[in-house]
């Protein structure tokens, strides 16, 4: 049996880690106030696997024998638990459905190749048998991009790249590393940092997502202001298609027609299997600092981020939360440490006396990396811009809290589901000139939908990545669906108005979560009908038999 480790079949992360509120004194009151859930009442338990009825594998003898010949007997599994783990990503629809045992189509087998030759043999066998192949990285996507089509009649094979997790080579003079696509964030960073290098790509899902998945979904990490999105970081690739391999050498730039590299990035498994990539790597920085600031309101925070993006400072992180998310952040701080020293009643009293409206205060984090002189100069530039927009510096202590919490917050969605509530995210990017409008329209649309459903709902937002011409806005929403209507129907209703607001107000359907099946209804509005035609043509030419992850993207 394979030794690849997987996330929980029913939720985020690994067994034994969960979100707890008992050490966060303000959290229960916050949740009661905002979404009406009483945390003094015990939550429900996630289902046990025995309660789930898993459809039997339909793997035929011939294909099964070919797959075993390709990767070895122990690396082909028809185990029920493994097949369920490979059925869904970790989106809200996925979590609700898997918890309910809603499994219309489950992969018939999970296959774990050790190298590119084995990937080629598997791809060729699957296509020759007219079966379906779905590449699987960490299974962390939240766009519904790896779930088999519900009525798929053909055999479905999930190709798990988990054994291909090595840094193969570092070209030190070019700052490039060749890395296998199945490496999880921690695998990759550990192998790089022991040699003094870092890729710097840190999505919130870092612990449970892979290089191949990042490339296939156009991922972006929290330090993208410095390191770039995965589309910037990825320079070369090898991609297995039926009967052939696309080889893209790592080039700093090239003028060889429409970019094949860009076609593969974001292709969600529909243009083949990425087996390895050349990525930009950087020397591990001498110093790293995250400093927290406060703004009197959201408009001031947005204006400051826009000005920082065109200034001489080049921070690694530019992040500002709206007033709602600031309240949430304060409610999730622990009793004994954290922001309490500074963002406590004392500070708020001072701000009140200065005329700040405490309902509108916005928390911001700016990250710096590099030599001492560089960081000092950047902090000075940023400090002046923040001051100009009425903000104040809180300091390093609250900033380090951001680093501590960043990988734990994802567990909160399961905590809410255990209590019958939905908590999810939607993110977009828009030009600076449209950002305010995207924000206002989206918040208004979500609140109107909460009112229509008759539920106490909460929506909050932060700006998470800045660019020359605009930024990413990341919304989180939560509500307990009413008992009269179907749970996922109410989720869809809220998610739909949020996504439509993005498009209507000038944003994109997603900045870094990809299209999948969940965002596909907005693709044509985003890239135009003619743009969609181009994409359909590309997918048909590469995969005429629709054997590679059909149904996602378009």
Among the residue ranges 34-42, 168-176, 510-518, 519-527, the one whose residues contact ligand FAD (CB under 6 A): 510-518
Instruction: Name residue 198's beta-bridge partners.
Output: 282
Nearer to ligand FAD, 206 or 368 (CB): 206
147 touches ligand FAD (CB under 6 A): no
Q: Is 439 assigned a catalytic role?
A: no
297 touches ligand FAD (CB under 6 A): no
410 touches ligand FAD (CB under 6 A): yes
155 touches ligand FAD (CB under 6 A): no
For the chain, give the longest Cα–Cα distance.
77
Q: Are the CB atoms for 549 and 146 separated by under 8 Å? A: yes
Q: Is 515 helix (H, G, I), strand (E, B) or coil?
A: coil
Residue burial 62-89, b: 16+ Cβ < 10 Å; e: rest: ebbebbeebbeeebbbeebebbbbbbbb
Residue 200 sits at the vertex; the CA angle it makes with 196 and 201, to the nearest 5 degrees, is: 140
**Kind plus residue range of the DSSP H or E element containing 35:** helix 27-35
Q: How many residues does the chain have?
A: 554
Nearer to ligand FAD, 89 or 399 (CB): 89
Nearer to ligand FAD, 77 or 220 (CB): 220
138 touches ligand FAD (CB under 6 A): yes
CB of 337 to ligand FAD, least distance (A): 24
The Cα 334–Cα 398 span in angstroms is: 12
512 touches ligand FAD (CB under 6 A): yes
**Interface pick for ligand FAD out of 113, 212, 315, 367 (rule CB under 6 A):** 212
181 touches ligand FAD (CB under 6 A): yes
Strands 458-466 and 470-479: antiparallel
Among the residue ranges 49-57, 268-276, 284-292, 381-389, the one whose residues contact ligand FAD (CB under 6 A): 268-276
427 touches ligand FAD (CB under 6 A): no
CB of 271 to ligand FAD, least distance (A): 8
CB of 235 to ligand FAD, least distance (A): 16
**Interface pick for ligand FAD out of 57, 77, 140, 147 (rule CB under 6 A):** 140
**Interface pick for ligand FAD out of 155, 165, 198, 220 (rule CB under 6 A):** 220
Nearer to ligand FAD, 161 or 294 (CB): 161
Instruction: Name residue 247's beta-bridge partners.
Output: 238
Long-range contacts of 23-29 (CB under 8 A, 24+ apart): 23/334, 23/335, 24/331, 24/332, 24/333, 24/334, 24/335, 25/335, 26/330, 26/331, 26/332, 26/333, 27/331, 27/332, 29/331
Calculate the alpha carbon distances from 242 to 175, 296, 306, 457 in Å.
32, 57, 46, 48
268 touches ligand FAD (CB under 6 A): yes
Q: Are the CB atoms for 209 and 230 separated by under 8 Å? A: no
The Cα 194–Cα 187 span in angstroms is: 11
CB of 380 to ligand FAD, least distance (A): 29
The residue with its CB nearest to ligand FAD is 213
Binding mask 4-43 for ligand FAD (x = CB under 6 A): --------x-------------------------------
Backbone angles phi, psi at 486, to 5 degrees: -75, 140
204 touches ligand FAD (CB under 6 A): yes
DSSP state of 148: P
379 touches ligand FAD (CB under 6 A): no
> Which parts of 52-91 interact with ligand FAD (CB under 6 A)?
89-90
Which parts of this chain interact with ligand FAD (CB under 6 A)? 12, 89-90, 134-142, 145-146, 161, 181, 203-205, 209-210, 212-214, 216-217, 219-220, 268-269, 273-274, 410, 512-514, 549, 552
Catalytic residues: 474
């Amino acid at each position: 049996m394979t030794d690849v480790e997987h996330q929980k079949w029913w939720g985020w992360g690994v067994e034994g880690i969960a979100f707890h509120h008992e050490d966060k004194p303000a959290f229960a009151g916050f949740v009661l106030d905002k979404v009406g859930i009483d945390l003094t009442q015990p939550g429900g338990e996630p289902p046990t696997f025995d309660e789930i009825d898993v459809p039997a594998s339909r793997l035929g003898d011939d294909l099964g024998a070919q797959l075993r010949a390709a990767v070895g007997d122990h690396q082909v599994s028809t185990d029920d638990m493994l097949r369920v783990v490979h059925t869904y990503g970790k989106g809200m629809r996925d979590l609700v459905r898997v918890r309910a045992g809603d499994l219309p189509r489950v992969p018939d087998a999970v296959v774990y190749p050790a190298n590119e030759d084995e990937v080629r043999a598997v791809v060729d066998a699957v296509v020759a048998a007219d079966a379906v192949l779905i590449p699987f990285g960490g299974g962390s996507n939240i766009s519904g991009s790896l779930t088999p089509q519900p009525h798929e009649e053909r055999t479905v094979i999930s190709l798990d790249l988990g054994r291909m997790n090595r840094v193969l080579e570092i070209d030190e003079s070019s700052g490039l590393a060749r890395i296998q696509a199945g490496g999880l964030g921690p695998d990759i960073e550990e192998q790089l940092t022991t040699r003094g290098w870092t890729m710097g790509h840190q999505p919130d899902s870092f612990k449970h997502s892979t290089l191949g998945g990042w490339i296939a979904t156009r991922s972006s990490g929290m330090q993208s202001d410095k390191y770039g999105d995965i589309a910037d970081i990825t320079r070369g690739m090898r991609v297995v298609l039926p009967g052939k391999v696309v080889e893209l050498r790592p080039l700093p730039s090239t003028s060889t027609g429409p970019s094949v590299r860009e076609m593969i990035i974001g292709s969600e498994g529909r243009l083949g299997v990425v087996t390895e990539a050349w990525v930009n790597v950087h020397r591990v920085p001498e110093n790293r600092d995250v400093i927290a600031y406060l703004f009197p309101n959201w408009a001031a925070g947005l204006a400051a981020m826009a000005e920082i993006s065109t200034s001489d400072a080049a921070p690694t992180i530019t992040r500002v939360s709206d007033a709602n998310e600031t309240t949430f952040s304060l409610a999730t701080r622990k009793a004994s440490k954290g922001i309490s020293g500074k963002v406590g009643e004392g500070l708020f009293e001072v701000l009140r006396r200065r005329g700040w409206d405490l309902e509108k205060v916005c928390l911001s984090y700016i990250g710096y990396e590099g030599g001492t002189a560089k960081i000092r100069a950047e902090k000075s530039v940023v400090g002046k811009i923040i001051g100009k927009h009425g903000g104040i510096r809180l300091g390093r202590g609250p900033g380090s809290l951001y680093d501590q919490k960043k990988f734990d917050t994802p567990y909160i969605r399961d905590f809410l589901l255990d209590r019958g509530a939905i908590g999810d995210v939607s993110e977009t990017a828009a030009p600076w000139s449209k950002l305010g409008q995207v924000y206002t329209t989206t918040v208004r649309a979500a609140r109107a939908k909460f009112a229509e459903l008759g539920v106490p709902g909460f929506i909050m937002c932060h700006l998470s990545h800045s660019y020359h011409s605009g930024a990413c806005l990341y919304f989180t929403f939560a509500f307990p669906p009413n008992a009269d209507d179907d749970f996922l129907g109410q989720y869809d209703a809220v998610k739909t108005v949020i996504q439509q607001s993005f498009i209507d107000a000038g944003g994109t359907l997603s900045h870094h979560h990809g299209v999948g099946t969940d965002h596909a209804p907005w693709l044509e509005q985003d890239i135009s009908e003619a743009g969609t035609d181009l994409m359909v043509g590309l997918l048909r030419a590469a995969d005429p038999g629709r054997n590679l992850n059909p149904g996602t993207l378009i």
